[in-house]
Amino acid sequence: MRGATGIKAAAGAKPAGAEDESSAAQMVRQMFNSIAPRYDLLNHLLSANIDRLWWRRAARRFRSVLADPEAAVLDICCGTGDMTMALLKHRPEGARPILAADFAREMLTRGARKFGARGAVALEADAMHLPLRSGSLDLVVTAFGFRNLANYEAGLREFHRVLRAGGQLGILDFSEPGGMIGKAYALYFRRILPAIGRLVCGAEGPYNYLPASVGRFPAPPAMTALMEEVGFAESAWNPYTFGIAGLYTARKPAAVVG
């Protein structure tokens, strides 16, 4: 079944060998738990530290809501906590703690070591089944994690559920740029990056999965259309570094009175 976006309703991450959404999610969890010890090293090495700039830029986009000490904020698929740390830089002293959630325990444990004493609380949770009340959050942010969900539409619907009317959503993730830059990047991303990942990490699967997952991810026009389809408004995509990555933003519409 396809919606108006042309995207299959159940489209999502599918590691090699996954038979359904449940097995896909389990494989993703196992994959990230296995590479957790070297995850930060590889992130910074493979991106030449540009990833740090992306996190900071994304966090600045939401500085107005982050400046509110009572704002309820969730960093979902927080991994080892770099996006959480970028968000915390915009929180005032004594502000309500940020919730930093991930379903890969080894990743979350390492993240908690960074942000545990800085104003964030670790929460082991699945992005598609959040243990949070409907309409309880002002901001949901995810960095390089949404692409790994087994069902993109279901993930967006869950984010929509937990956001208050007027709440904001930010999804920072990879894309595939076009033109000559895109061709050069594709060569690096599909050939060189997996080889470096195997060398440093000692594992074959995770860094073959990365370019495959980006190739499977909806292009920006389809992604923003899907966001609108599930009920978000003002959906937009802001490309970073020639479109290698970008920030999707949207807002849950304010409640209609009368």
Low-confidence ranges of the chain (pLDDT < 70): 1-10, 202-205, 256-258
The predicted pLDDT at position 204 comes to 64
Q: Look at residue 120 and give its three-state secondary structure.
A: strand
CA-wise closest residue to 89 among 125, 63, 126, 122 = 63
The predicted pLDDT at position 205 comes to 65
Q: Give all domains of the chain, ordered by start, each with its CATH number.
A: 21-175+218-251 (3.40.50.150)
The predicted pLDDT at position 127 comes to 97
β-strands 98-102, 233-240: how paired? Answer: unpaired
Q: 111, 102 in Cβ contact below 8 A?
A: yes
Can you give the pTM of this predicted structure? 0.91
The predicted pLDDT at position 76 comes to 98
- 204-to-1, 159, 195, 221 alpha-carbon distances in Å: 34, 32, 9, 32
Question: What would the two tokens of residue 22 be?
Answer: 């449940």
Summarize pLDDT for 82-111 with one digit per residue, the tens: 999 999 999 999 999 999 999 999 999 999
